[in-house]
Amino acid sequence: MNLTSLLSYTETQELNELLSAEGMPKNCMAFSSLDGFLAAIALNPRFIAPSEVLRWVWDVDKGEEHPAFSSLDDFNRTLELIMRHYDRELHAMDNDQFEPLLYSWEQEEGDNLPDVKKWCEGFMLGATAFIEPWRDVLEDHPEFLAPIMLLGTSSSKDGMWDNRGNGQTEQDARKSISDAVSLLYEYFKDQRAENMQASLGSPNLVRSSVRTNSLSAPGTRLLIGRNDACPCGSGQRFKKCCGILSRPSMQ
């Protein structure tokens, strides 16, 4: 199976349901926010520990809460789908084919509009949570982020977002997202190449990645050492956290 393939509609629904399942923190990301968040992580030229990325997926407000998965299968499947979707982001950007994936919300008139606001909020969280390489963008080329900041920051919630009745702001922002991502991809190109070279001697580092060497393909079980840090981001050892679900007595 192709790791860079787009999640099917059914898999997108499945991931969204897993992220909102019982045992997940109340502030866990929904799919539109996750898509924007992972886009910002994929653009980041620096290397980010998987636990640092995932803790914001589980808790968009503080990055502190962590999930209590109902089974090891749900744990594996959730991480598999997140990682596959992240790989899709990388592949699309590398091939200049990136498009945001958005859920729709229904207006009072009965029309559906894509949830651009949630996507932009997720992207801005991905940028601000790992802000260092983004400082120069904000200082030198704020126009690159303008369409995303429009709906993804608190300063834009009043005024522009309140005009959503005709959908014009959201539609314009969505049309500009792909171009903004392309500009940011080119902006970070040299930094990304330098960091890739630096990581050649460090097999545990993967480009701005939430992926790990333990997940080889979709459908495989996630193999983690019981004394390793838990990928859910809790800061505990796997055997004391989500790994407790893999003990024979729990099956």
Rounded Cα–Cα distance for residues 33 and 21 (Å): 16
Strands 104-106 and 112-114: antiparallel
* % of the chain beyond a pLDDT of 90: 34
Rounded Cα–Cα distance for residues 97 and 223 (Å): 32
Say if pTM beats, i.e. exceeds, 0.85.
no
Tokens at 238, concatenated? 């796997």
Q: Please tell me the least confidently modeled range out of 112-126, 164-178, 210-224, 229-243.
A: 210-224
Rounded Cα–Cα distance for residues 83 and 212 (Å): 9
Rounded Cα–Cα distance for residues 200 and 88 (Å): 22
Q: Which residues does 226 contact at the CB level (< 8 Å), separation at least 6?
A: 237, 238, 239, 243
Residue 246's CB: how many other CB atoms inside 10 A?
19
- What is the average pLDDT across 19-45? 93
- Asked whether the beta carbons of 54 and 231 are under 8 A apart, the reply is yes
Instruction: With H, G, I as helix, E, B as strand and everything else as coil, classify residue 113.
Output: strand
- Sign for the CA dihedral angle at 149, 25, 213, 200 comes to positive
- What is the average pLDDT across 83-98? 90
- Sign for the CA dihedral angle at 221, 200, 94, 89 comes to positive
pLDDT tier at 116 (50, 70, 90 boundaries)?
confident
Task: Give the pLDDT confidence score for residue 242 in this predicted structure.
Answer: 59
- Asked whether the beta carbons of 39 and 210 are under 8 A apart, the reply is no
From the number of C-beta atoms within 10 Å of its C-beta (0-12, 13-18, 19+), residue 122 rates as buried
* Half-sphere exposure (Cβ direction) of 116: Cα atoms closer than 13 Å: 25
pLDDT at 247 over 80: no
Task: Give the pLDDT confidence score for residue 35 in this predicted structure.
Answer: 94
- Asked whether the beta carbons of 68 and 207 are under 8 A apart, the reply is no
Instruction: Quote the DSSP letter at residue 47.
Output: -
pLDDT tier at 120 (50, 70, 90 boundaries)?
very high
- pLDDT tens digits for 128-183? 999 999 999 999 999 999 889 887 876 444 433 344 444 456 677 778 899 999 99
pLDDT tier at 28 (50, 70, 90 boundaries)?
very high
pLDDT tier at 237 (50, 70, 90 boundaries)?
confident
From the number of C-beta atoms within 10 Å of its C-beta (0-12, 13-18, 19+), residue 74 rates as middle
Going through the chain in order, the beta strands assigned E by DSSP cover 104-106, 112-114
pLDDT at 84 over 80: yes
- What is the average pLDDT across 70-85? 87
